[in-house]
């Protein structure tokens, strides 16, 4: 029996969605829809200090503008906290996590190995001697780290960011690694298509799936969109926000056409809708190298980068 395909789009409301996000969303949407599958939409809003007011609604508007629909109501991570807490308790019961009081600066000073710009150094095990019970005796803030052991997946990683609340109780939020595992397993996601900057996260998440007794989806990592300097698209490359393109009068078919051309699905960047691309979708057609988005390419669809 063929497994029903369920994909997902997972914008984070920590900033505006840009052309790089749009390319990954398009690939994920086409993959699921071309197989007759479902597409879920999840708002990843647990990183509360970085969440921008109105960014979640803006992301939904951007996706609708691009013609990327989804099934059911949007899933909001901050409404699912009991599920994440339950998963943490399972890890604590197995002594697979420990309280870590190290700051990011502590880790960077203790680690000597080179690391990726967006990843940070591997954790050197400063607090790994602690047990779960030691958390009750700590006065300072701490995080829960997963015990990786001998596995070569980049060191022990944070699964829960914890801090003392004003009332004296320790609260906190799940880290990305734990939240997405709980969500994707619980929601029946069968395929995850995302940028290749998240490749280092995959073995960590597979470990969590295994430890929690959950079925893992298939993973596909696609090359990022980069600016003229070869670094992944960001504010430093000027305004490539989807909302700015829309306000400038760019048609969604124009940006979809450009992205389709970048993925090898059509010979030119001629305007096309996402729906019309379905018969042409093929993961193998996507080039292995990053897509270089230049001001000239954006000018070709009627958008001037400022």
Please report, in tens digits, the pLDDT of each residue of the chain (306 residues total).
Answer: 346 999 999 999 998 999 999 999 999 999 999 999 999 999 999 987 888 999 999 999 999 999 999 999 999 999 999 999 999 999 999 999 999 999 888 888 876 655 455 466 889 999 999 999 999 999 888 999 999 988 788 899 999 998 665 556 667 899 999 999 999 999 999 999 999 999 999 999 999 999 999 999 999 999 999 998 999 888 888 889 999 999 999 999 999 999 999 999 999 999 999 999 999 999 999 999 999 999 999 999 999 887
What is the Cα gyration radius of the chain? 21
Predicted confidence at residue 1, as pLDDT, reads 37
Contact between residue 263 and residue 51 where contact means Cβ atoms under 8 Å apart: no
Query: Which CATH topology does 6-79+223-300 take?
Result: Rossmann fold (3.40.50)
18 with 52: CB under 8 angstroms?
A: no
User: 257 exposed, middle or buried (CB, 10 Å; 0-12, 13-18, 19+)?
Assistant: buried
Task: Tell the residue number behind the tokens 């994440």, with chain if given.
Answer: 84
- CA-CA-CA-CA torsion for 7, 13, 15, 20, nearest 10 degrees? 0
3-state secondary structure of 292: strand
Report whether 183 contacts 176 (CB < 8 A): no
Q: pTM of this prediction? A: 0.92
Q: What is the DSSP letter of 61?
A: H
Give the ranges where the chain is alpha helix by DSSP (H). 19-34, 55-66, 81-93, 104-110, 176-186, 201-212, 242-247, 252-262, 274-277, 295-300
- pLDDT given for residue 166 in this prediction: 57
Q: Where exactly are the structural domains of the chain?
A: 6-79+223-300, 81-177
Residue 197 makes CB contacts below 8 A (sequence gap 6+) with 116, 118, 224, 232
DSSP 8-state symbol, 136: G
Q: Are 177 and 201 in contact (CB under 8 A)?
A: yes
Spell out the residues 6+ positions from residue 258 whose beta carbon is closer than 8 angstroms to its own: 269, 297, 300, 301
For domain 81-177, give the fold: 3.90.800
Distance, CA of 72 to CA of 54 (rounded, Å): 21
């Amino acid at each position: 029996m063929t497994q029903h395909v369920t994909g997902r789009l997972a914008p984070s409301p920590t900033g505006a969605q840009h052309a790089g996000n749009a390319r990954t969303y398009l690939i994920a949407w086409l993959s699921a829809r071309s197989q007759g599958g479902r597409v879920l939409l999840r708002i990843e809003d647990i990183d509360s200090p970085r969440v921008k007011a109105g960014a979640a609604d803006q992301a939904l508007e951007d996706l609708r503008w691009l013609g990327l629909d989804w099934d059911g109501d949007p899933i909001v991570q901050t409404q699912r906290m009991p599920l994440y807490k339950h998963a943490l308790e399972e890890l604590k019961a197995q002594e697979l996590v420990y309280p870590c009081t190290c700051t990011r600066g502590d880790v960077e000073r203790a680690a000597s190995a080179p690391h990726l710009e967006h990843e940070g150094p591997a954790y050197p095990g400063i607090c790994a001697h602690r047990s779960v019970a030691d958390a009750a005796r700590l006065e300072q803030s701490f995080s829960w780290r997963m015990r990786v052991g001998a596995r070569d997946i980049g060191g022990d990683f944070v699964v829960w960011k914890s801090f003392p609340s004003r009332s004296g109780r320790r609260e906190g939020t799940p880290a990305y690694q734990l939240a997405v595992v709980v969500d994707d397993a619980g929601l029946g996601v069968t395929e995850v298509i995302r940028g290749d900057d998240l490749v280092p996260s995959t073995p960590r998440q597979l470990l969590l799936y295994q430890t929690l007794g959950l079925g893992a989806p298939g993973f596909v990592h696609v090359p990022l969109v980069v600016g003229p300097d070869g670094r992944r698209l960001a504010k430093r490359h000027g305004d490539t926000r989807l909302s700015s393109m829309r306000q400038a009068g760019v048609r969604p078919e124009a940006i979809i056409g450009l992205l389709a051309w970048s993925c090898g699905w059509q010979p030119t960047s001629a305007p096309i809708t996402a729906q019309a691309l379905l018969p042409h979708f093929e993961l193998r057609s996507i080039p292995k190298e990053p897509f270089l988005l230049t001001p000239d390419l954006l000018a070709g669809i009627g958008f001037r980068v400022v």
